[in-house]
Amino acid sequence: MFEKVLIANRGEIAVRIIRACKELGIKTVAVYSEADRDSLHVKLADESVCIGPPSAAQSYLNIQNIIAAAKTKKADAIHPGYGFLAENAYFAEMCSTCGITFIGPSSHSVQIMGDKASAKAEMEKAGIPVVPGSGGVIEDEDHALSVASKIGYPVIIKATAGGGGRGMRLAQNPEELRKSVALARQEAEAAFGNPQIYLEKYIEEPRHVEIQILGDVHGNVIHLYERDCSIQRRHQKILEEAPSPAISPELRERMGSDAVKAARQVGYYSAGTVEFLLDRNGNYYFIEMNTRIQVEHGVTEMVTGIDLIKQQILIAAGEKLKFKQEDIKLCGHAIECRINAEDPLRNFVPTPGKVEFYHAPGGFGIRVDSAIYTGCEVSPYYDSMIAKVIAWAPTRQEAISRMKRALMEMQVDGIPTNIPFHLKIMDNAFFQRGEIYTNFIQRRLLG
């Protein structure tokens, strides 16, 4: 087992990883930017190293400084968390070149799945249903128009290197498509440094249902059922739950075994997520695989009792999975609300600043993963998520009541947050009935 792990991240996920390491008896090294000197992850780790100025490009994305920090502190492994370098194949490669274990999948898996067009092609080979589309990158306008006329409108243009809900454009007809191709390429180049785009049929009012995977380096792969992440704003998740209120045990089995097949296709190990869109007719389509731990992993932990971060660490250390598929049981229901420092009354603008007072909710069935404390500064440099509140209960209905109670208990003074917005979701009749599609927020709350 590793003696020391460096955590190449910040915020709640760095804290989450430090907690797992502590429970496994592993020493921890935190890295931080100059803006994060007083951050909780720095206080909780055994050791810490400053890796650069506030901007992420110069600190949390600075591969050289992070590897140098790991070498100086004699860490034998690096956990990348999510975001930043978590899905950077070059970083994974550099770790192994420098004799440091990357706590994640092979750089090969990261690379294949990181390019959304090649990931889809790979999945088709494995016989996994994918959203009908261009089956590769779009060369030009004419190519786009001919693909779209085959699959039918509306279509969505996506950047092969896209992520975080960005790099997507909807086209309802040939005119819109013609206008969008060049624009989408420019946007992709600007946002991801890669102009490649591809085309997909736009699925109307789908649900986003994703399957959690765990694989070891010995070729064992299992799934830990699904999460429903249909509650999104601008294609970004803000609330997730497990299990999905929408799928039958039979569909759950089929999606689970397809996700395992997907992982096997690329020789996947570590934790990963296979994302699907589910249409109104119960057809599901692969959209992408995330080769990292996800923000919403906690809801799966609550309903399966399995600590996914510890599993990632054990797998990276070469251990065999301790459970077989039939050992994974679903128990109860869990809902996660992403608490963001943003103002729902002002079009969700980020609201960084000082937290004058913080009181975390608690009690039976409530879990809070956060890195804020009274007096801390929420930095304008990074993601606006400040906490994840997870409610577990035997049934979905009880989990909703419990979440509502927790959100009302939670106090974050000094900066506006989206807590009132989450309370609106809890009170919404469509949400309560599980009638949730990816346009829920636009249609039922903002529309």
Q: Which residues pair with 341 in a beta bridge?
A: none
Specify the residue, 237 or 422, whose C-beta has the smaller distance to ligand ADP.
237
Residue type, 292: R
Binding residue (CB under 6 A) for ligand ADP from 288, 296, 336, 369: 288
Binding residue (CB under 6 A) for ligand ADP from 198, 202, 392, 431: 202
Indicate the SS3 state at residue 36.
Answer: helix
Of these residues, 185, 292, 367, 444, which one is catalytic? Answer: 292
Specify the residue, 88 or 438, whose C-beta has the smaller distance to ligand ADP.
438
Considering only the stretches 29-37, 200-208, 251-259, 413-421, report the one whose residues sit in contact with ligand ADP under the rule CB under 6 A: 200-208
Binding residue (CB under 6 A) for ligand ADP from 122, 187, 226, 275: 275
- Look at residues 55, 97, 100, 53 and name the one whose alpha carbon lies nearest to residue 73: 100
Task: Write the CA distances from 68 to 72, 76, 318, integer angstroms.
Answer: 6, 12, 24
Specify the residue, 76 or 275, whose C-beta has the smaller distance to ligand ADP.
275
Indicate the SS3 state at residue 313.
Answer: helix
Task: Write the CA distances from 366 to 144, 225, 242, 355, integer angstroms.
Answer: 48, 21, 15, 22
Answer yes or no: 292 catalytic.
Answer: yes
Q: Closest approach of Cβ 288 to ligand ADP, in Å?
A: 5
- Dihedral-angle region of residue 83 (phi above 0 means left; psi in -120 to 50 means alpha; beta otherwise): left
User: Distance between CA 246 and CA 151 in Å, rounded?
Assistant: 27
Specify the residue, 197 or 410, whose C-beta has the smaller distance to ligand ADP.
197
Binding residue (CB under 6 A) for ligand ADP from 235, 310, 404, 405: 235
If one asks whether residue 131 binds ligand ADP (CB under 6 A), the answer comes out as yes
Give the torsion sign (CA, 415, 437, 215, 61): negative
Helix (H) or strand (E) holding 11: helix 11-23
Q: Closest approach of Cβ 75 to ligand ADP, in Å?
A: 30
User: Distance between CA 391 and CA 422 in Å, rounded?
Assistant: 13
Q: Closest approach of Cβ 290 to ligand ADP, in Å?
A: 8
Neighbours of 445 (CB within 10 A): 16
Specify the residue, 122 or 216, whose C-beta has the smaller distance to ligand ADP.
122
Give the x/- contact pattern for ligand ADP in 156-195, rule: CB under 6 A.
Answer: x-----xxxxx-----------------------------
- Look at residues 197, 188, 216, 236 and name the one whose alpha carbon lies nearest to residue 348: 236
Binding residue (CB under 6 A) for ligand ADP from 27, 85, 438, 444: 438
Q: Closest approach of Cβ 189 to ligand ADP, in Å?
A: 16
Specify the residue, 275 or 342, whose C-beta has the smaller distance to ligand ADP.
275
Specify the residue, 79 or 237, whose C-beta has the smaller distance to ligand ADP.
237
**Site of tokens 């589309």:** 133
Indicate the SS3 state at residue 28.
Answer: strand
**Site of tokens 């709350």:** 445
Neighbours of 245 (CB within 10 A): 16
User: Distance between CA 5 and CA 103 in Å, rounded?
Assistant: 9
Q: Closest approach of Cβ 162 to ligand ADP, in Å?
A: 5
Binding residue (CB under 6 A) for ligand ADP from 80, 81, 104, 206: 206
Which residues, including other chains, have CB under 8 Å from residue 148's CB and lie 6 or more apart? 155, 171, 174, 177, 199
**Site of tokens 């991801």:** 192
**Site of tokens 């901007």:** 55
Considering only the stretches 92-100, 120-128, 196-204, 376-384, report the one whose residues sit in contact with ligand ADP under the rule CB under 6 A: 196-204
Query: Residue ranges of the alpha helices (H) in 215-330?
Result: 249-265, 297-304, 308-316
Considering only the stretches 33-41, 198-206, 214-222, 362-370, report the one whose residues sit in contact with ligand ADP under the rule CB under 6 A: 198-206
3-state DSSP percent of the chain in helix, strand and coil, to 5: 35, 25, 35
Considering only the stretches 139-147, 155-163, 173-181, 344-352, report the one whose residues sit in contact with ligand ADP under the rule CB under 6 A: 155-163
Considering only the stretches 16-24, 41-49, 197-205, 357-365, report the one whose residues sit in contact with ligand ADP under the rule CB under 6 A: 197-205
If one asks whether residue 200 binds ligand ADP (CB under 6 A), the answer comes out as yes
If one asks whether residue 232 binds ligand ADP (CB under 6 A), the answer comes out as yes
Indicate the SS3 state at residue 235.
Answer: coil
Binding residue (CB under 6 A) for ligand ADP from 287, 328, 419, 426: 287
Minimal CB distance residue for ligand ADP: 438
Q: Closest approach of Cβ 163 to ligand ADP, in Å?
A: 4
Binding residue (CB under 6 A) for ligand ADP from 27, 79, 120, 208: 208
Binding residue (CB under 6 A) for ligand ADP from 203, 260, 289, 315: 203
Task: Write the CA distances from 82 to 250, 323, 335, 376, 446, integer angstroms.
Answer: 31, 25, 20, 22, 29
| Catalytic residue ranges | 292
Q: In the complex, which residues of this chain contact ligand ADP (CB under 6 A)?
A: 131, 156, 162-166, 200, 202-203, 206, 208, 232, 235, 275, 277, 287-288, 438
